[in-house]
Chains A and B, each alone.
Chain A
Amino acid sequence: MNYTLQTLMHERTRYAAGVGAVAFSAMLMALQFGLMLGLFTITSTPIDRTDDRNVWIGSKDVQSVDLGRPIPLSHIGRIGERPGVAPPEPFIGMFASFEKPDGGTDLCFLLGSNLENDSAGAADVLTPTLRKALTEPYSIVMDESDMKRMGLTKVDQTAKINGKEVRLVGSVQGLKSLAAPWVLCSVPTARDIATAVLPADNVTYLIARCESAARAESLARELKAEYPEMTAVTADKFSLNSRLYWLFRTKAGVAIGYAALLGLAVGAVVTAQTLYAATMASAREYATLFALGIPRYRVYISVLLQAFWVGIVGILLAYPAVLGLAWVAEQAGAKVLLRWEVLAGAGGITLMTALFAGLIALRSVRTIEPMSLLR
């Protein structure tokens, strides 16, 4: 290992291309994964911004929070009074047409919930003041990053949703949207706005808060067994389902994954070529060792160690760049979630790719013969 590191340091210009390619691969992959995770976090915001001990009850086979169909409010009776479970609350979530003050239209997603301070369905970013303000009929709140897009510049401006005039009573942070801005309101406001598509006495979800995450899991199991025609799922699971839905069904995640794969392939090819060239540059030295009877596997290990260290150095160079670029992306409004699993995963996969490149470069060692030293 010592010899390998010494060689890498001494001939750093020779290995620079491989290290650069590995760094590029790791950087691309971490950013792509981070963006993907950030993107899919946005898709599950209404769930993630509420209590993680909640059980979400909706129509059959709901795969993502934005795909819920109306269910009768009377389903509350199905839950009834169960130990460790608070009385369920109604929740309305559906797409609606937003008419901007200047006349343009856009799509928004209504999130109508109870607004008490301990409400299970109200987003945690809502302050008591905002909750109180939302109790006024036809008042709404949205993320401040979405206001400009929806033609709103200040509180108290009015717009129309599904033809009904609404008033912006405040803004929050941390509710960024992907396609349609999240619009927070009360259940009655949501029901009045959605009256054309939401039958009377229907809601989109019922949310039951449990005393613990374990109780939430058992409640979801109980309801699923008792009422297979409706969905009952824990907040964690529903959040994951929503993200996976966007990942697989929309192909967006597949496209990002594909780009990361291309980055890996480029990294692997350049690294393999760098190691191959470096090994061939030392072909006479290795041939001398082979003449002396040094087993070939020793040189194989050396080349693989070179690949390992090229990978490690590349990854270590990539991480600061990833953090810097993620910051730039955040400034541009994109959410990049660089969890440790993302950084470790990207690093691990990149390291495996570098080792794979090392395996490819081993063919150079097989071509080295001591006879080549005798003229």
Chain B
Amino acid sequence: MTDRLSSPSLRAVRLMKTFGDGAQQRIALNQVSVDLMPGELALLMGPSGSGKSTLLAVLSGLLRPESGQVLARTDHGEADLWSFDDKAREQYRLAHTGFIFQGYNLFPALSASQQLEIVLRWGCNCRSGSAKRKSEEMLDRLGLFKMRRKLPSQLSGGEKQRVAIGRALVKNPQFLFCDEPTSALDWENGQQVIGLLREAAHTRGATIFVVSHDHRMLPFVDVCYHLVDGVLERQPSAAALAAVGRED
């Protein structure tokens, strides 16, 4: 167990990604390499257009890099995500990854519980009763049990984002990728969301990768990276990270 926790769960190796052609070409990722550890909450910061979302997309199997590898640790050893075909990559995402986006993207007609159930029923072929039970357990852990029958229109922004977190965590993923999860929230709700992400990393052993501009997150994360013009740097200390956040 200790061995598993001390070795990376996801390794990016010399990732390259560019957009556009000729004079218009922009390098989004320039030989980016990074190791993400299990049980670790990692934060990626950087100016707008620096390639943060591109790195998240490549690491999570949503966007193919031009070169480089994304090596995920599986039960059979390390496997390069980008050597999989589309179907296998979809199955990998279904089995191992969760996502939280800036928008909550909740179905307006479905209750909080059903937002989670739909993932279990459509993704994991869970039966209705089992999906409902698991979803309500997850909402309970997120402090939303009383809200389980509410529609998105009856929830606050913080509650909606917690439902979105529940939807991402309900299938117990190995990796959780979050794009600006607190940007639409006030600090009180933002803190609550960060707390939930920390808990998911530290108690469930998940690898959490967060892209954010929000420097208030810095004291809560385990490790922080900074991406500028496609080049990734690991920040040495929390104080330095805080300084970086203020620059943004």
Q: Are A and B subunits of one complex?
A: yes
Query: By the criterion CB–CB under 8 Å, are A292 and B114 in contact?
Result: no
Q: Residues of B within 8 Å of A, CB-based: how many?
A: 35
B100 → chain A closest CB, angstroms: 9
B208 → chain A closest CB, angstroms: 16
Which B residues touch A285, using CB under 8 A? 105-107
Query: By the criterion CB–CB under 8 Å, are A289 and B103 in contact?
Result: no
Query: By the criterion CB–CB under 8 Å, are A292 and B97 in contact?
Result: yes
A375 to B57, CA, bound (A): 10
Which B residues touch A370, using CB under 8 A? 62, 99
Task: Return the contact of A10 from the options B63, B109, B167, B179 (Cβ within 8 A).
Answer: B109
Query: By the criterion CB–CB under 8 Å, are B109 and A293 in contact?
Result: no
Interface segment among B13-21, B85-93, B140-148, B185-193: the answer is B85-93
Query: B219 contacts the other chain (Cβ, under 8 Å)?
Result: no
Interface segment among A1-9, A113-121, A224-232: the answer is A1-9
Q: Residues of A within 8 Å of B, CB-based: how many?
A: 23
Query: B5 contacts the other chain (Cβ, under 8 Å)?
Result: no
A291 to B56, CA, bound (A): 12
A11 to B57, CA, bound (A): 32
Which A residues touch B114, using CB under 8 A? 3, 6
A289-B119 contact given A7-B107, A10-B109, A375-B53, CB 8 Å threshold = yes
Task: Return the contact of A7 from the options B60, B102, B109, B122 (Cβ within 8 A).
Answer: B109
B48-64: which have CB < 8 Å to A?
53-54, 56-57, 60, 62-63
Most buried by B among A289, A292, A370: A292
Residue of A nearest to B89 (CB): A293
Interface of A: prevailing SS: helix
Most buried by B among A9, A291, A294, A371: A291
Query: A288 contacts the other chain (Cβ, under 8 Å)?
Result: yes
Residue of B nearest to A281 (CB): B108
Task: Return the contact of A3 from the options B63, B91, B110 (Cβ within 8 A).
Answer: B110
Which A residues touch B106, using CB under 8 A? 285
Query: B225 contacts the other chain (Cβ, under 8 Å)?
Result: no
A291 → chain B closest CB, angstroms: 5
Which B residues touch A11, using CB under 8 A? 108-109
A177-197: which have CB < 8 Å to B?
none
A7 to B171, CA, bound (A): 24
Query: B220 contacts the other chain (Cβ, under 8 Å)?
Result: no
A279-299: which have CB < 8 Å to B?
282, 284-285, 287-289, 291-295, 298
Query: A255 contacts the other chain (Cβ, under 8 Å)?
Result: no
Residues 53-86 of chain B: 1 if any A CB is under 8 Å from the residue's CB, otherwise 0? 1101100101100000000000000000000000
Task: Return the contact of B109 from the options A6, A284, A298 (Cβ within 8 A).
Answer: A6
Query: B138 contacts the other chain (Cβ, under 8 Å)?
Result: no
Query: A155 contacts the other chain (Cβ, under 8 Å)?
Result: no
Q: How many A-B residue pairs have CB under 8 A?
A: 86
Residue of B nearest to A287 (CB): B105
A374-B93 contact given A285-B105, A289-B118, A293-B123, CB 8 Å threshold = no
Query: B39 contacts the other chain (Cβ, under 8 Å)?
Result: no
Residues 110-121 of chain B: 1 if any A CB is under 8 Å from the residue's CB, otherwise 0? 100010001100
A374-B179 contact given A6-B110, A291-B93, CB 8 Å threshold = yes
Query: B98 contacts the other chain (Cβ, under 8 Å)?
Result: yes
Query: B168 contacts the other chain (Cβ, under 8 Å)?
Result: yes
Query: B184 contacts the other chain (Cβ, under 8 Å)?
Result: no
Task: Return the contact of A373 from the options B101, B110, B167, B171 (Cβ within 8 A).
Answer: B101
A1-36: which have CB < 8 Å to B?
3, 6-7, 9-11
A374 → chain B closest CB, angstroms: 4
B91 → chain A closest CB, angstroms: 7
Query: B155 contacts the other chain (Cβ, under 8 Å)?
Result: no
A6 to B118, CA, bound (A): 13
A298 to B95, CA, bound (A): 16
A31 → chain B closest CB, angstroms: 34
Query: By the criterion CB–CB under 8 Å, are A374 and B56 in contact?
Result: yes
Chain B residues engaging chain A, CB cutoff 8 angstroms: 53-54, 56-57, 60, 62-63, 90-95, 97-99, 101-103, 105-110, 114, 118-119, 122-123, 151, 167-168, 171, 179
In the A-B complex, list the 9 residue pairs whose CB atoms are closest, starting with the nearest: A293-B94, A10-B109, A293-B93, A374-B53, A7-B109, A298-B122, A288-B105, A291-B99, A284-B105
Chain A residues engaging chain B, CB cutoff 8 angstroms: 3, 6-7, 9-11, 282, 284-285, 287-289, 291-295, 298, 370-371, 373-375
What are 6 A-B pairs with beta-carbon distances under 8 A? A6-B114, A10-B151, A288-B101, A289-B119, A292-B98, A294-B122
Beyond known contacts A3-B110, A292-B167: 14 more, CB 8 A cutoff: A3-B109, A3-B118, A6-B110, A284-B103, A288-B99, A288-B101, A291-B62, A291-B93, A294-B94, A294-B119, A294-B122, A294-B123, A295-B122, A374-B62
